[in-house]
Chain A
Amino acid sequence: MLLNVGPSHPAMHGVIRLIMELEGEKIHNVEVEIGYLHRAFEKMCETVTYTQCFPYTDRLNYVSPLINNVGFAMTVEKLLGIDIPERAKYIRVLMSEISRVTDHLTCIGASAMELGAMSAFLYMIKAREFLYELVEEITGARLTISYVRIGGVKADLTAGFADRAFQKIADVRKVLIETDELLTHNRIFFDRMKGTGKISAQDAVSHGITGPFLRGSGVAYDVRKANPYLIYDRLDFEVPTGTDGDNLDRYFVRMAEMEQSLRMIEQCLQQIPDGPIAGDLTGEVITAAHMVDSAKMGETEGLLQDQVDLDPTLQGSTRKYSQGINTDRKDVALPPKEETYGNIEGLMNHFKLVMYGHGIHPPVGEAYVPVEGANGELGFYIVSDGRDHPWRVRVHPPCFPIMSALPKLLAGDMMADLIPTFGSVNMIAGELDR
């Protein structure tokens, strides 16, 4: 019998169509049809400048958008051949790990809900909310954050962030213990996850699968360990693996990874070099309009020492913070706002970076940078032709290879096993279809 599931189906988080060949209740073969959320990410990136690509990258894996931002920025930085300040590296890792936990929470929560465990889902979304509050505090947004910049990040951490983060981590840990008790010791959940959606390590490698999905099959490949980027080599963490490569193992791997990520966040907060370099900030705090007016009128006495009071959307990017979180290359990073408002050189620098046809010009060449996304290796391959627009942006989405292995995962299982297997794939249509 042929059974069509999707493209719009309550149990399919994301639009995807599965055409299943059934023999009784057994799945004989599956045909996977993707592309329903194709928004031409790669084509659109070719039409805008490097910095303008960031909002598009937010919408790839929308459950952990910060990791996409980091991956894209690192690729452009590799093309440019620049390094970024230590503090910015720590902030990037910190935010990536927060995103990884939110992603895993969503994945496990959603698959538990589809198996009928509604309360586990609500608990996990509650924990995700704690972390989203942290993300919101730093980036000003919850989902479409566009936080990372080429050569640094948009804004520095807020005052007292570390204390609040430790508090939230403790809260998340509590939820993890609660849900662990709810799910791991739950006979129904356990039986439905155990032995379903099996894939061997060899098949997984051949299909190009990475991330928690691969580690569930017992292969300890993690980009953070294999090719440590940013400051991952300074962090102490383990790469949890499973043995059987079934849904249950992947569930355990994700649960263990969340704990590791929380540990990494704590280490980052402890290791992060000191923030705002106070420097010559002796002047008073004045509004942006006031500063621009004084500069125009030539009333520049003491203006270099003044601090600008910015609109909330620009908070954390004043001179006080800017040095610690952005590269000092003037052809890459925007100048601090005091420079832009207060003197002509800063203003020109600003416009040279944002005007059409100017902007960041990486040399002609190509670069590929892999980062560990929540679903596996997230790679950006960018070809530059020496102009301000990327010539080609290719994203290697981690759930694309997993989806290509879906027929193999499902064949031979019962139809009801589709739900836990598809849940553990953690398909994010945004990055799958791009």
Chain B
Amino acid sequence: MTPLQRVQEKFQSQIVETHAFRGDETVVVRPGALREIAKFLKEDPQMDFNYLMDLTAVDYLFFAGGRIQKEPRFEVVYHFYSLTHNHRLRVKVPVDEKDPQVDTLTDLWASANWYEREVWDMYGIRFKGHPNLKRILMYEEFKGHALRKDYPFNKRQPLIGPVY
């Protein structure tokens, strides 16, 4: 049984959708169930996802030039990897634009700490329970969140020097 099937079986009601595009098993879960599912992924001996390999977010504002409607606006994407079973799973959590907030996973995987800070920095998604949620790549005075689709790529916010 693949990890995806096991998650599907156990958390039937908490799953929004699943797919395995090009072999990448993906499960989209409800925000409220994230911690419960993450705990299961980490602690269940048949899952044993001891790596939170990557954590990022995607902004679907005007996705495909507005041709494809994606609601809600954000998705937080987790890539898990298991050293013991050598399998991978992608978990996605839809996040609403009005109150962009997800539960933190810092107590389960230490790697979540910096990744969550980066997602906060770039997307303005808060992680409830994060011990030190502050900007990581940008400076504290930076206004806005740079990887959001409504942040122009050529906007300048110099800290020092002439202001255009």
- A residues whose Cβ falls under 8 Å from a Cβ of B: 34-35, 38, 40, 42-44, 46-47, 78-79, 81, 203, 205-208, 219, 221, 226-227, 364-368, 370, 377, 379, 381, 383, 385-387, 391-392, 394, 396, 400-401, 403-405, 433-434
Contact = CB atoms under 8 A, between A and B. Distances in A.
Nearest to B86: A226
25 contacts: A35-B137, A35-B139, A43-B153, A46-B153, A47-B153, A206-B109, A207-B111, A208-B109, A208-B110, A208-B111, A368-B54, A368-B88, A368-B90, A377-B53, A379-B79, A383-B58, A385-B63, A391-B63, A391-B64, A392-B59, A394-B56, A394-B77, A401-B114, A404-B111, A404-B114
B22 A365 contact: yes
A368 B127 CA distance: 24
A404 B110 contact: yes
A205 B51 contact: yes
A221 B88 CA distance: 14
A383 B77 CA distance: 11
A364 B65 CA distance: 13
B38 interface: no
Contacts of A205: 50-51, 83
Interface string B118-150: 000010000000000001111100000011000
Interface of B: 21-22, 24, 26, 50-54, 56, 58-59, 63-65, 68, 77, 79, 83, 86, 88, 90, 109-111, 113-114, 122, 135-139, 146-147, 153
Given A34-B137, A38-B137, A367 B21 contact: yes
B54 A394 contact: yes
Contacts of A40: 146, 153
A377 B53 CA distance: 9
Contacts of B59: 392
A221 B114 contact: no
A429 B74 CA distance: 28
Given A38-B138, A43-B147, A365-B21, 7 more contacts: A35-B139, A81-B22, A368-B54, A394-B54, A403-B114, A404-B110, A434-B137
A381 B77 contact: yes
A35 B153 contact: no
Contacts of B90: 366, 368
Contacts of A34: 136-137
Contacts, number: 97
Contacts of B54: 368, 379, 381, 394, 396
Given A35-B138, A365-B22, A381 B114 contact: no
Most buried by A among B77, B90, B110, B122: B110
B137 A367 contact: no
A366 B86 contact: no
Q: Interface of chain A, helix or strand or loop or mixed? A: mixed
Contacts of B53: 208, 370, 377, 379, 396
B32 to A, nearest CB: 23
A226 B83 CA distance: 9
A148 B68 CA distance: 31
A208 B52 contact: yes
Contacts of A227: 86
Q: Interface of chain B, helix or strand or loop or mixed? A: mixed
A396 B22 contact: no
Given A81-B22, A208-B51, A208-B109, A391 B65 contact: no
B22 A367 contact: yes
Contacts of A364: 64, 68
Nearest to A225: B86
Contacts of B122: 42
Contacts of A44: 153
Nearest to A363: B21
Given A364-B64, A394-B54, A203 B110 contact: yes
A226 B82 CA distance: 11
Given A40-B146, A206-B111, A381 B56 contact: yes
B120 to A, nearest CB: 13
A29 to B, nearest CB: 13
Nearest to A385: B64
A90 to B, nearest CB: 23
Contacts of A219: 83
Contacts of B86: 226-227
Nearest to A43: B153
Given A394-B56, A401-B114, A433 B137 contact: yes
Nearest to A33: B136
Most buried by A among B26, B52, B59, B136: B136
A403 B113 CA distance: 12
Task: Pick the 10 closest A-B CB pairs, nearest first.
Answer: A208-B111, A385-B64, A35-B137, A404-B114, A396-B54, A206-B110, A365-B21, A394-B56, A38-B137, A207-B110
Contacts of B56: 381, 394
A297 to B, nearest CB: 42
A401 B26 contact: no
Most buried by A among B51, B54, B56, B65: B54
B96 to A, nearest CB: 19
Contacts of A386: 64
Nearest to B148: A43
Contacts of B21: 365-367
B56 to A, nearest CB: 5
B136 A385 contact: no
Contacts of A404: 110-111, 113-114
Nearest to A202: B50
